[in-house]
Amino acid sequence: MAQHDKIYLNPTPIRIWHWLNALGIVTLTLTGIQIRWPEFLNIFGAYKAAVSLHNTAGIVVSISYLLWMAYYIFVAGTLLKIYVPTAEDLKHGLLRQAIFYFFFYFFGKPNPHTPTPDNKFNPLQKVTYLMIMFLLLPLVIISGFLIMNIGPLREVIIAVGGLKLLDGFHYLIACCFTAFLFIHVYLATLGHTPFAHTKSMWTGWEEEDKP
């Protein structure tokens, strides 16, 4: 049987951010579905309720995003180190990690990446999280902010191609988030027990398996 070592992987601000963010994104997804297809889905009663909840959740996600950013930049100072893949990651790590997930994993081979507080993501995670946190999330926040203030920000909206394009863009990014969510939640069950990773996102401590 393997022996268990514990490392402190997820500091408190990150855990608060993460679950606030998860709650926010799930709320945004559900309300978003009702806003786009009100005649097929009515979860929150009145349409107006869905719209205000969507707006509120959007603000919560935006603020918690700032919290996340502030923590990694000002407190931990590890933002780039953790999230930006190295040249080595891109050259070999990415492929190695993908082959592991889709091939060696099934044969019981060990994970090529072992998380440490300063290098907690494998190359695949780095690339994905980088896209999510540095590209998609800011874009969805900015487009959402514009759509919330159509009147006053009309000029900006026209400059980026008009309300319709903006809305379509917002919708497509939201779909990317939903797609990510499926994969993300699933991969989170690939720890040594199905809830190991989730537990560490809750308590901060990851149980390391040493063979």
Q: Which does 6 bind (CB under 5 to 8 A by kind): other proteins, ligand HEM, none?
A: none
Kindly tell me which of 134 and 184 has the beta carbon lying closer to other proteins: 184
Residue written as token pair 């709650």: 23
- Given the rule CB under 8 A, which residues bind other proteins? 1-2, 35-39, 46-48, 51-52, 101-102, 105-111, 113-115, 121-122, 125, 150-151, 154-155, 157-158, 161-165, 167-168, 171-172, 174-176, 178-192, 197, 208-209, 211
Q: Which does 151 bind (CB under 5 to 8 A by kind): ligand HEM, other proteins, none?
A: other proteins
CB atoms within 10 A of CB 128: 16
Kindly tell me which of 7 and 20 has the beta carbon lying closer to other proteins: 7
Residue written as token pair 């950013």: 69
The CA distance from 189 to 58, in Å, is 27
The CA distance from 195 to 210, in Å, is 18
- The tokens describing 178, both together, are 């939903």
Residue written as token pair 């996102």: 201
Q: Which does 46 bind (CB under 5 to 8 A by kind): ligand HEM, other proteins, none?
A: other proteins
Q: Which does 179 bind (CB under 5 to 8 A by kind): other proteins, ligand HEM, none?
A: other proteins
- The tokens describing 41, both together, are 């889905």
Kindly tell me which of 74 and 107 has the beta carbon lying closer to other proteins: 107
C-beta of 122: minimal distance to ligand HEM in Å? 9
DSSP 86: P
Kindly tell me which of 96 and 184 has the beta carbon lying closer to ligand HEM: 184
The CA distance from 189 to 120, in Å, is 17
Helix, strand and coil percent figures for the chain, each rounded to 5? 70, 5, 25
